[in-house]
């Protein structure tokens, strides 16, 4: 294959039309650019081919998806569709994965409808991708329907559905499905066990999680990976068994990584254990000094105890070291358009109506008993200002916009890049009761289904 400088020279000649396109196989060149993350160069090669087949279109779409450029992948597919190129099952499976990661249910539904209308072969990979897409977009009922009506179930099919139920907090159902998988003699792999352990964690099934962690190696000869250790620490931590979680880490036969240390640190945040959080953060930062999450969690724990000086010092250290915290944001899809909201977002064209709706909702839910949880604010401010900051969290703005933009009775769906805070979680329960609409929120950890003042997680997340 050509060196990087050689590929750059070829791309330049392709762009100015001076390259002989028959000298090298352009498909291979495009794959090379994609592999090294040079997406623009890959696109230049792609655009230079006049007679593109479905394989070339799919390769470019997959390239965008592999590098997290979901919007570009979907946009290119639309162009492909308009040019009359019929997608194959591999194209469809890739695009469904894009819809799953982005949480754009409408696009996923359209792809499913296209498969049914055009008799595209419903392979196991497409069926599994449909299950994952519906589950990741918050429609578990649709995911279950696809799973039940699939002609054949392989180990991946069962794993996809186990992961889906785990994400939605249905721990017991996930374990029942795993038992069915064993009865059908489908061999689980390490991903299957991530789903099983996650299901136990989200449902608070600590003993059952420990049982499956042990059986993973004893029965199926699967060596635990870091993700499995993290999944085991999670239920210990959520149940408040921080000592057991810490001892579990100390007993690991391998050196804990960022994910494992982060799982313990998250548990410390939930239960406000300052001493263990400090030690866990120090060890995490020794591995990854620029991990913004570690700084944020320890600052959060300090703030929860009113130790504002210590919290301020953590933020100063972050600033001095150039560490930037990932900003929280939410996104929703309405009428084929994705709307993104940040904290105190003031850029949306309907911002006045959105903030008016938020203010109205806050007043109405207070009458139902809602009280702002200002412990979620990590700054030493007056209570009134803290409450104002809480009311402008991105997920609250997203809900307000959906309420003024959608029909009564329809389900509200929000995607969030971080863990939902305690205050927003409580607020959503009251709002679901107030407006009599289901709210489905996907945060960084799991799904929350709010309905009639209750959440599917039973306040355990």
The answer to whether 391 and 358 have CB atoms below 8 angstroms apart is: yes
- Considering the domain boundaries, does residue 302 fall inside one? no
- Considering the domain boundaries, does residue 381 fall inside one? yes
State how far the Cα of 265 lies from the Cα of 2, in Å rounded to an integer. Answer: 45
Pairing mode, if any, of strands 439-442 and 412-416?
parallel
More confident residue, 193 or 21: 193
pLDDT category at 240 given cuts 50, 70, 90 is confident
Q: Does residue 1 have a pLDDT over 60?
A: no
Task: Taking residues 272-290, report their average pLDDT.
Answer: 84
Three-state secondary-structure class, residue 224: coil
- Considering the domain boundaries, does residue 126 fall inside one? no
Q: Does residue 305 have a pLDDT over 80?
A: no
Residues 325-342 have pLDDT tens digits of 778 899 998 887 889 998
Residues 142-169 have pLDDT tens digits of 999 999 988 788 999 999 999 999 999 8
- Considering the domain boundaries, does residue 448 fall inside one? yes
Residues 202-239 have pLDDT tens digits of 888 899 999 999 999 999 999 999 999 988 888 888 88
Could you list the residue range(s) of the whole structural domain that residue 363 is in? 329-455
State how far the Cα of 322 lies from the Cα of 318, in Å rounded to an integer. Answer: 6
Residues 348-390 have pLDDT tens digits of 889 999 999 999 999 999 999 999 988 777 666 778 888 888 8
pLDDT category at 188 given cuts 50, 70, 90 is very high
**pLDDT computed for residue 335 by the predictor:** 81
Q: Does residue 301 have a pLDDT over 80?
A: no
Q: Does residue 49 have a pLDDT over 80?
A: yes
**pLDDT computed for residue 9 by the predictor:** 59
Question: Phi and psi dihedrals of 197, rounded to 5?
Answer: -70, -35
State how far the Cα of 237 lies from the Cα of 249, in Å rounded to an integer. Answer: 12
pLDDT category at 28 given cuts 50, 70, 90 is confident
Q: pLDDT averaged over the chain?
A: 87
- Considering the domain boundaries, does residue 262 fall inside one? no
Sheet strand arrangement including 454-455:
337-342, 329-334, 412-416, 439-442, 447-451, 454-455
- Considering the domain boundaries, does residue 190 fall inside one? no
> For residue 258, what are the contacts with CB-CB under 8 A and spacing of at least 6?
284, 287, 288, 291
Residues 379-412 have pLDDT tens digits of 667 788 888 888 899 999 999 999 999 999 999 9
The structure tokens listed for 452 are 């009639």
Chain centroid to CA 104: how far? 12
Pairing mode, if any, of strands 329-334 and 412-416?
antiparallel
CA end-to-end distance (rounded Å), the chain: 49
**pLDDT computed for residue 426 by the predictor:** 95
- Considering the domain boundaries, does residue 436 fall inside one? yes
Q: Does residue 195 have a pLDDT over 80?
A: yes
E strand or H helix at 160: helix 155-167
Question: Phi and psi dihedrals of 191, rounded to 5?
Answer: -70, -40
- Considering the domain boundaries, does residue 380 fall inside one? yes
**What is the total count of domains within the chain?**
1
Residue in the block written with tokens 């374990």: 175
Length of the chain: 461
**pLDDT computed for residue 23 by the predictor:** 39
**pLDDT computed for residue 3 by the predictor:** 55
E strand or H helix at 450: strand 447-451
For CA atoms 251, 239, 232, 68, the dihedral sign is negative
pLDDT category at 4 given cuts 50, 70, 90 is low
């Amino acid at each position: 294959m050509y060196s990087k400088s050689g590929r750059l020279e070829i791309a330049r000649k392709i762009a100015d039309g001076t390259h002989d396109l028959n000298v090298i196989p352009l498909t291979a060149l495009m794959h090379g650019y994609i592999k090294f993350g040079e997406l623009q160069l890959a696109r230049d090669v792609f655009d230079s081919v006049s007679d593109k087949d479905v394989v070339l279109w799919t390769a470019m779409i997959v390239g965008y998806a592999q590098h997290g450029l979901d919007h570009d992948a979907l946009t290119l597919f639309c162009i492909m569709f308009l040019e009359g190129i019929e997608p194959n099952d591999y194209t469809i499976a890739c695009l469904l994965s894009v819809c799953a990661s982005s949480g754009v249910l409408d696009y996923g539904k359209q792809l499913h409808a296209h498969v049914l209308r055009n008799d595209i072969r419903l392979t196991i990979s497409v069926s599994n991708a449909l299950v994952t897409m519906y589950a990741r977009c918050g429609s578990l009922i649709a995911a279950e329907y696809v799973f039940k009506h699939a002609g054949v179930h392989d180990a991946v099919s069962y794993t996809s559905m186990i992961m889906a139920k785990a994400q939605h907090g249905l721990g017991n159902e996930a374990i029942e499905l795993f038992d069915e998988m064993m009865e059908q003699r489908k061999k689980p792999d390490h991903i299957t066990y991530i789903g099983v352990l996650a299901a136990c964690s989200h449902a608070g099934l600590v003993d059952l999680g420990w049982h499956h962690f042990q059986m993973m190696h004893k029965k199926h000869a699967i060596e635990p990976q870091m993700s499995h250790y993290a999944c085991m620490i999670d239920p210990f931590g959520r149940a408040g068994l921080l000592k057991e979680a810490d001892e579990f880490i100390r007993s690991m036969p391998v050196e804990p990584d960022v994910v494992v240390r982060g799982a313990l640190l998250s548990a410390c945040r939930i239960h406000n254990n300052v001493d263990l959080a400090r030690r866990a953060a120090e060890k995490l930062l020794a591995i990854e000094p620029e991990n913004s999450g570690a700084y944020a969690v320890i600052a959060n724990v300090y703030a929860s105890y009113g130790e504002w000086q210590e919290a301020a010092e953590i933020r100063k250290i972050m600033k001095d070291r150039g560490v930037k915290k990932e900003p929280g944001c939410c996104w929703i899809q309405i009428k084929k358009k994705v709307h993104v909201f940040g904290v105190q977002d003031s850029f949306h064209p309907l911002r006045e109506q959105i903030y008016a709706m938020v203010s109205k909702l806050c007043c109405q839910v207070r009458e139902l008993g809602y009280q702002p949880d200002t412990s979620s604010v990590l700054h030493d401010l007056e209570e009134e200002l803290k409450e104002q900051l809480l009311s402008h969290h991105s997920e609250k703005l997203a809900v307000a916009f959906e309420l003024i933009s959608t029909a009564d009775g329809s389900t509200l769906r929000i995607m969030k890049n971080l863990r939902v805070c305690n205050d927003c979680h409580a607020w959503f329960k009251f709002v679901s009761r107030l407006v009599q609409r289901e709210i489905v929120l996907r945060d960084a950890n799991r799904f929350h289904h709010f309905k009639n003042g209750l959440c599917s997680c039973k306040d355990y997340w």
